[in-house]
Chains A and B, each alone.
Chain A
Amino acid sequence: AQTVTQSQPEMSVQEAETVTLSCTYDTSESDYYLFWYKQPPSRQMILVIRQEAYKQQNATENRFSVNFQKAAKSFSLKISDSQLGDAAMYFCAYRKAGKSTFGDGTTLTVKP
């Protein structure tokens, strides 16, 4: 079974600074999808960014970017110019054949 590991239960960052959240996963597949979701205290989980494993280019969405290392099975999320609204729990997810596996989440605190 696939597993997703987020080794940082909690992270904090100063407003306007950059922070990187780590995620590793275990799979024997070559074609799959990876996602980062954000769950703020209001608890609605929303998509932050996604990456197709067959694409070598790292995905970016405004201030959010990923460092996808397929061989290392690593999928970290970089948040640049952190804002107070970025404070949330972040989940890394692996998806293959319609089935998603989530990591335990990283709680990000943004300090003003």
Chain B
Amino acid sequence: ETGVTQTPRHLVMGMTNKKSLKCEQHLGHNAMYWYKQSAKKPLELMFVYSLEERVENNSVPSRFSPECPNSSHLFLHLHTLQPEDSALYLCASNLHNAGASPLHFGNGTRLTVT
């Protein structure tokens, strides 16, 4: 049990669908992250929330919309995605600005866009 739970584990969606990814942590962390992991590419940071405020948005297309209603929950709303958005989406959490605090990852959501 990692303490970071992501749902769903797998998601297949058409380009016109709207879906959401959910992440939940009960580790007492104050920062949460969305990463995209594609085959043959390095881990890409998408968004960072610290104390429920978005502190980083790495030029992510607007078809990805994050939401952080509280320090324990993080969502990634998806709409009108492209096939190249198919990837593993990882959520992570830690204590922001505590340099030694490692990232705790969820199991990820494998997204396939058809």
Which residues of A come within 8 Å of B, CB atoms?
31-33, 35, 37, 42-47, 50, 52, 91, 93, 95-100, 102-105
Contacts and interface: CB of A to CB of B under 8 A. Distances in A.
A45 B105 contact: yes
A44 B99 contact: no
Question: Interface majority SS on A: helix, strand, loop or mixed?
Answer: strand
A105 to B, nearest CB: 7
B66 interface: no
B43 A44 contact: no
B99 A46 contact: no
Given A97-B97, A98-B50, A98-B97, A91 B105 contact: no
Contacts of B100: 33, 50, 52
A32 B99 CA distance: 7
A43 B43 contact: no
B107 A43 contact: yes
A96 B107 CA distance: 25
A12 B48 CA distance: 35
B57 to A, nearest CB: 13
B42 A47 contact: no
A43 B99 contact: no
A45 B33 CA distance: 14
A34 B92 CA distance: 17
Residue picked from A50, A99, A100, most chain B C-beta under 10 Å:
A100
